[in-house]
Amino acid sequence: MEGFTTNYLDITNEDVVVNYAPPSLVNSYSYKIIKNNDVIYESEILYNPVDIKLTDTGTYKIEVVNNYYNNSETITSSEYKIDKEAPIINVSENVYKIKSGDKLNIDITASDIVDGDLTFNITSNIESLDFKSEGVKRITYSVSDKAGNTANETIYVTVSSNNTNLIRVGQVGLVVILVLIIVFLNKYIRSIKLEKRFSKYTINSSKNKSISLFDNLYNEYMDFINNMSKILSKSVFLSKRAKRYEKYVQAFKQGSTMELMAKKIVVGVLFILLGALVKLLGSEIISSLEIILSFIVGFYTLDIIYYYKYIKYRKKLEKDLFEAISVMNNAFKAGMSITQAVELVSHELNGPIAKEFERVRIEISLGLDIEVAFKRFAKRVNTKEAVYLSSSLSVLNKTGGNIIKVFNSIEKNLFARRKLEQELKALTSSSKLIMYVLIIVPIVFVVFISMLNKDYFKPLFTNAFGIILLVIMVLIYITYIVVVRKVLKVRGIK
């Protein structure tokens, strides 16, 4: 039989053998094998029939040039499609964990380099599996292309018991307990306020030694903190670390530094319990990493609270110190002595500065020299104004002089300094507002995007390049905050 002959049908995943027999009048011929529109083979001059074998994946054509005595002709075969590449099944995960009776959502697709999307051709044994009973279920997915190539993918699903009802009971119980605690605390706070209002009109019986439930609980809590601080004080590392909290202890009279360290640990444990409660409300179990993060957040929460309380305390102290100097100046104009002026400040003013001047008055009354008492005062308050006041009183106490004139000068200088601070604050307020907005906007953006799509930032934590990119972004963000704060900081005032 002349021409092309083969057993090829449509598309195949096997080798194709094409036989070419030249016509009887042909003296000689040659052929080319064209794969995907590219010539991959050219033969020499042939005379007899030939078997042409096609083996690799691709679309083939064979072009033959027949040479006659006086001319030549070119003939082309039909296309031969060979597909030996199996399809690819893509799944998001190979292991799933669900509760008994829950719906299983598996994101799965299939594609082939020749046939394209084969997702709708996927078959599986999922219909024959029982996801209401506990155990490990094996789902086998299979897909075939037109050439007969087959791909398989196995997914394992672990089905655990569904304790939804028990968890809901626990959730309701916890909510009820929290509500009761809030109600009792509210009643306790109201009773304390009422007690303070009526205490000046009542006389307590000397025989009444009973205490309330909340007072008893508070005493138990403080006993626990005291015992815990004694245990923690045996650690050299914690003792050194606790020294940084001395300024808070002195400012707020919060016991010892080790007691504050014990409170930080207790708050860290409470945050772990709170995290476990939140996970329980979501029908989940808290992980080890979440336990560590919860403890760290709780441990440093008191640092943040005390830091801002201390900043507020310092601002109040600096503001009241200016008023205290004005009161002392007026006292000196009225002919009072330094001791009388100090006593007047402690009685006329309120807040931390009154307590500090009361402490100075007590120290002087106990025989401490005025110079030493005010040096101790300046060390505790630790402001330039306090140092200036202490130095001025020390010099006046030693050498004498016009104390009214000196305090007039101090008052004018402090007033000018405060006025300059207010002007600088007004000039930089808009820039600081912009800085805070630019700092908060990225955080708000990340929170809202995460709420809309929980997996949006997932590549930043699961991919090596994503982790590197995340670290770079965080470093740039921190650098931005540090640089902007340094630019906006006015030196020479504080």
Cα 284 from chain centre: 20
What does the chain come to in residues? 494
Q: What are phi and psi of 143, to 5 degrees?
A: -150, 145
Type of residue found at 236: V
Phi and psi at 355, nearest 5°, equal: -65, -40
Instruction: Kindly report the backbone phi and psi dihedral angles of residue 229, in degrees, each rounded to the nearest multiple of 5, phi listed first.
Output: -65, -35
Beta strands 11-12 and 80-82 are parallel
- Contact by Cβ (8 Å): 82, 48: no
Tokens coding 100: 């008994």
Pair 157, 139: CB distance under 8 Å: yes
CA-nearest of 128, 122, 99, 100 to 110 is 122
- Structure-token pair, residue 320: 């009241």
d(CA 404, CA 330): 8
Per-residue model confidence (pLDDT) at position 201 = 62
**Cβ atoms of residues 349 and 317 within 8 Å:** no
Contact 45, 28 (CB under 8 A): yes
Cβ contact 77:4 at 8 Å: yes
Q: Is the dihedral of CA 386, 390, 396, 399 positive or negative?
A: negative
SS3 331: helix
Contact assessment for residue 457 and residue 492, using Cβ atoms and an 8 Å cutoff: no
| Closest C-alpha to 298, from 266, 327, 341 | 266
Nearest one of 309, 405, 244, 366 to 376, comparing CA atoms: 366
Stretches where the chain sits below pLDDT 50 are 492-494
How many CB atoms sit inside 10 A of residue 213's CB?
9
Among residues 127, 147, 151, which one has the least CA distance to residue 139?
127
Place of tokens 């809309």: 452
Specify the pLDDT at position 494.
Answer: 45
